[in-house]
Structure 1
C-alpha cells in the first residue's frame, strides 16, 4: 500500500550512529560475506523515534521515516553511478511498506531440509544438475527449494512460511551477490541467519502465559522521489532490499540493507 504526499508525518527520528551491530563486526561472518559477494554491500543502521508505534500506522510511519531530515542525511545507500556509499539525500514523495511476518523463535524452522533429504546428516547440501534462474545458477537442491516453483523440492515450505522474515534472510544469504561462491554445507547459512535474526528481532515474555513472543514489526520498504524509485536503489533486483525492523518498546528502527552488484558498483 502506498502513502503519498497527503500523509502527515507523525514521527521524528534520530540516527544512533554509535550503535554497534555485532554480526557486522564478526570476522567469520565478514569472511562469509566476502565469499558470498555481499561484503561492502550490506549494512545495518539504527534510528530511534519519539512516539509510540502501532503496526496499523505503517504507511505514515514509513513515510515519516524517509522524509525525516535526520534520515535523509544519514540513511546509507549504494548508487549505480558511484562506487562509494552515499546517503539518501532526496525528498521522498511515495513509499511502499510491505509488512513481513515475523513469528519464528528458533532455527527448528529449517529442520525440514534434513527430513526431506535436501541436506544430508553431515550438513552437506544435495547436488543437482545445473539450471539457470534469472541471475542465479542452481547447482544444488537447496536452491531448487528457494527458487524453482516447478520443483518437487519447492513444496517443503508453504507460501506462508516463505514470507517469514527468517526465511527471507536465509534466502538472501544463499543467493548472495553477483560473484557469490556457494557453500557445500548448510551450516554457514543457518549460523549467519541465526546471528542476524537474533540481533535484529526483539522478543518478550508474556507476563500471563510466560511464553516468549516476537514483538518486532518488520517492513520491506521501497521509496520514490519525483524521478521514480530511489531506495533501496533506482534499479530493481530480488537481492537489492531494505527492511525496517521496528522495536515498539525501545522505539528503535533497525534498517537492514543490501544492494546487489559486482565489485563496488550496484548493477
Structure 2
C-alpha cells in the first residue's frame, strides 16, 4: 500500500480546536502575573485533535505530519521576531526535532526542597543573594541561582532527571520570565501559576487496576526547520523561547504551549 492511501496507519491528520480554552492562562490573577513577568502577549496555548493512534516511538512522524497538515498551517500561532505580531507559519517545514520531556510528577511537594535547603524561607520569601549575571538573566536571589548557576553550592538540590521533568521546566520558565521580568519576592505566585498551567495541559486518569492516578500525556519540546534553518518556535534561539507539545493519546488531543522571549505587554 502506498504511503498516504486510506487505511495507512502512518498518516496523521489534525483539526484545530478553537473552542478549547486554557483558563490557567486567562484568569485575571494569571494575566496580572504574566504581565509582571513580561510574558503576557507572548505566551499562548492551543489545542488540536488528531485521528490516529498515537505511538511515542513515531513522535517525529507525528510532529512532521502536524506541521504539514492543512488544518494546522493557517492556525498554529507564532510571534514575528521583527514586528512582535502573532503570525502563522508561512514556510514549509523540512525537518523536525521532538525531544522527550519526562512527565511523572503528580504533586507540588516536588518543590518542598526549596524550603528544606533554605532557598525559600518558611514564610515563603525567597532568600536574596549578591547580584550576578548569568547572561541574559540577573541573579539576585537563591532561587535563580539554583535554576541557572551550575557551579553554585545548591545546584545539586535538583538532580539532572529532576530538571528534565515538565513540571520543573514550566516552573523555571515562569521564574525566568521575559525581557523585562519583575521578579517576585515570594515563591507562591510561581508555584500557584505552575500548578494551574500544568493541570490545564497535562491529562491524568485513575489506573483501573491499582486505583492510582497516573499521567497519560506524552510531552515533547519541539523545534522545526525550513530550508534556511530554524523556523519554529522562532528563528532566534533562546532558553525562554519554547514550544511544548502535550499529547493526550486517549482523547487524541495535542496541546501546544508556546512562548517567545521578548518584552511582554505592559498595560
TM-score bracket, normalised by the shorter chain, equals over 0.9
CA contact (8 A) 2:42 2:264 kept: no
CA contact (8 A) 1:67 1:91 kept: yes
Q: Quick one: distance in 2 between partners of 1:161 and 1:91?
A: 35
Pairing 1:116-135 to 2, within 5 Å after superposition: 116-135=117-136
Pairing 1:56-205 to 2, within 5 Å after superposition: 56-205=57-206
CA contact (8 A) 1:9 1:63 kept: no
CA contact (8 A) 2:180 2:263 kept: yes
The answer for the alignment partner of 1:247 in structure 2 is: 248
* Aligned-residue CA RMSD (Å): 1.1
> Relative to 1, partners in 2 of residues 1:263 and 1:193: Cα closer, same or farther, differing over 3 Å?
closer
TM-score (norm 1): 0.94
Number of equivalenced pairs: 257
CA contact (8 A) 2:79 2:260 kept: yes
Give the 3-state SS of the residue equivalent to 2:154 in structure 1: helix
Give the 3-state SS of the residue equivalent to 2:175 in structure 1: helix
CA contact (8 A) 1:37 1:181 kept: yes
CA contact (8 A) 2:127 2:142 kept: yes
Q: Quick one: distance in 2 between partners of 1:121 and 1:83?
A: 40
Structure 1 unaligned blocks of 5 or more: 1-7
Q: Quick one: distance in 1 between partners of 2:141 and 2:82?
A: 34
Q: CA deviation at 1:146?
A: 0.1
Q: CA deviation at 1:204?
A: 1.1
User: What are the Cα deviations for residues 168-208 of structure 1, in whole angstroms up to 9, with x where unaligned?
Assistant: 00000000000000000000000000000001000111111
Q: CA deviation at 1:211?
A: 1.0
Q: Quick one: distance in 1 between partners of 2:90 and 2:205?
A: 36
Give the 3-state SS of the residue equivalent to 1:207 in structure 2: coil
Moved over 2 A (4+): none
CA contact (8 A) 2:38 2:177 kept: yes
TM-score (norm 2): 0.94
CA contact (8 A) 1:9 1:64 kept: no
Q: CA deviation at 1:70?
A: 1.2
